[in-house]
């Protein structure tokens, strides 16, 4: 079997939001399997923290899903055990409860709750967010001002959230590049600064 090159992986990543259930799971496995080793080796987090972040995202997402089911759309993103919550919920009470649920996950250091009280976003909105995330990451690569995997990009309803362990200079560069990307309404920094 011929191995996948970078071009195929990029195309697969762009098409991911449009794939049906089983195909999406296979694509995620291919993308994850190929990129995980490289991502961990170049990440500023230790391997242990990288794994803890993955666990926090899974456990946090599971807690939200078990409690609220399809009544909410919430993304749990962890970087160096600092958690970003994004998405939509029907009430302030639900937003607060979700924040508390995720704070209770083992090893969580901090929670930034950016969930919005509004109706659940559409498939088209989420697909557009995935496209914006891809464009921002691509522009990071083109700019070459910092190592791309040092900044994690999350997009929700056109708002781009930037996470990572970065210097002030890297943060400023990331914000500048992201804010000048088409479709981006606003950029929110959720960085942990080094030095």
Residue (of 59, 61, 58, 57) closest to 73 by Cα position: 61
- Residue 194's SS3 state is coil
Residues of the chain with pLDDT under 70: 1-41
Quote the pLDDT of residue 2: 41
Quote the pLDDT of residue 98: 98
Helical H segments across the chain, by residue range:
6-15, 21-42, 47-68, 92-103, 123-143, 168-179
Quote the pLDDT of residue 13: 56
pTM for this entry? 0.79
What is the spatial distance between Cα 37 and Cα 79, in angstroms, rounded to a whole number? 17
Quote the pLDDT of residue 42: 74
| Close Cβ partners of 118 (under 8 Å, ≥ 6 residues apart) | 88
Quote the pLDDT of residue 41: 59
Q: H or E element: which one contains 166?
A: strand 159-166
Quote the pLDDT of residue 3: 43
Quote the pLDDT of residue 7: 52
């Amino acid at each position: 079997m011929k191995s996948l090159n970078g071009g195929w992986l990029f195309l697969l990543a762009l098409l991911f939001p449009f794939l049906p259930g089983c195909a999406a799971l296979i694509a995620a496995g291919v993308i994850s399997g190929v990129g995980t080793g490289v991502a961990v080796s170049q990440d500023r987090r230790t391997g242990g923290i990288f794994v803890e972040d993955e666990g926090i995202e899974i456990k946090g997402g599971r807690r939200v899903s078990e409690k609220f089911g399809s009544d909410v759309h919430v993304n749990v993103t962890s970087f160096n055990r600092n958690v970003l919550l994004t998405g939509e919920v029907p009430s302030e009470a639900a937003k607060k409860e979700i924040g508390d649920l995720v704070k209770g996950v083992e090893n969580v250091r901090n929670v930034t709750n950016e969930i919005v009280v509004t109706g659940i976003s559409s498939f088209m909105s989420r697909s557009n967010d995935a496209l914006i995330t891809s464009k921002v990451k691509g522009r990071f690569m083109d700019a070459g001002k910092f190592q791309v995997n040092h900044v994690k990009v999350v997009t929700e309803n056109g708002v781009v959230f930037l996470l990572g362990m970065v210097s002030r200079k890297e943060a400023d560069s990331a914000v500048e590049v992201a804010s000048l990307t088409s479709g981006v309404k606003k950029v929110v920094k959720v960085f942990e600064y080094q030095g």
